[in-house]
Amino acid sequence: MRILMTGHLGYIGTAAVPLFLARGHDVIGCDTDLFGACTFTPAVGPAASIRNLGLDIRDLQPDHLVGFDAVVHLAGLSNHPLGSHDPALTDEINHRAAVRLAAVARQAGVPRFAFSSSCANYGAAGDDFIDESGAFAPLLPYGQSKVDAERGIAVLATKDFSPVMLRNATAYGLSPRIRFDLVVNNLTAWAFTMGDVLMKSDGSPWRPLVHVEDIARAFLAVCEAPREDIHLEAFNIGATEQNLRIIEIARIVAEVVPGTRIRFAPNAGPDRLCYRVNCDRFARRFPAYVPRWTVRAAVEELHEACQRFGLEVDEFEGVRYARLPHLKARITAGEVTPELRPVQAAAGLEPATA
């Protein structure tokens, strides 16, 4: 298959590209590489070697998408702090640009559109398990943008255009373009750098969890599946048994990283964002898909990577790896516009391609 992957240079994309290439797919990327300096491993890997259209997703036209068999749409503002910084911009990029891209893909004759949504759609579901039929209750602009995008994309479905929504659980695990703002990764980073698993909540909220590589494998599965298995479907991506309270994650980290203790921040309290997600529907539809990672195995891998590549607190809590501080620093430096466009692209210059 010939696949356009937006956000291929991001946290999920750099894990996904090698898997798609290994299956023999022709992958073309589309990424303005806003987080090019966030590379944790020595190299980005195969994602840096494929052709990159280098365009902002807001600028893609039908001509750019002609001849593709599928669009894997990963690009967007990726977390709650970044999404809450400028809610209007979050809506523009995560919602309106995603719906527009789906419409452009349909116009170009692309038959399949795999959208990277989120279990944050469920927001405040509480202690009970929620499946794909559950009500949306997003608490913050990031979750609302994903809900609105799903709804806008769904109405574009036709007999020739098949959207599929992948509602990812909270991601974790090692990727070349690491994110340390994710709970498993963040707690492991604190343990490695300070010897403390720093809890910023009381530890009681539930989180559904999924390794970044298992997210990538789910996207691969829906791209290769028969149309009738994915047309206008929504799937929770993860494993039902990998719903953990944050305190349980902290205990795993403390067990893996030697000399670690659990410590609560002075203002640690309840977190309204609490939900448990049932992921059995995807498992039934795709029986060959079995998540390969557990939280413990990922913490072990992350700890080893921190030992190998090094990490300091001011890196994962500051401008090097934290997405919002990183973008703020680039805006201040004049490298990125407040609308999150690279300055050379905003000036009408041809973006570099890989």
Give the amino acid at 301.
Answer: E
Q: What is the pTM of this model?
A: 0.94
Alpha-helical runs (H) found in the chain: 13-22, 62-65, 80-85, 87-90, 97-107, 141-154, 183-194, 212-224, 227-230, 246-256, 280-285, 295-309, 313-316, 323-332, 343-346
DSSP-based three-state secondary structure for 46: helix
98: confidence class by pLDDT, cuts 50, 70, 90: very high
pLDDT in tens, 265-318: 888 777 778 889 999 999 999 999 999 999 999 999 999 999 999 999 999 988
Domains of the chain: 2-346 (3.40.50.720)
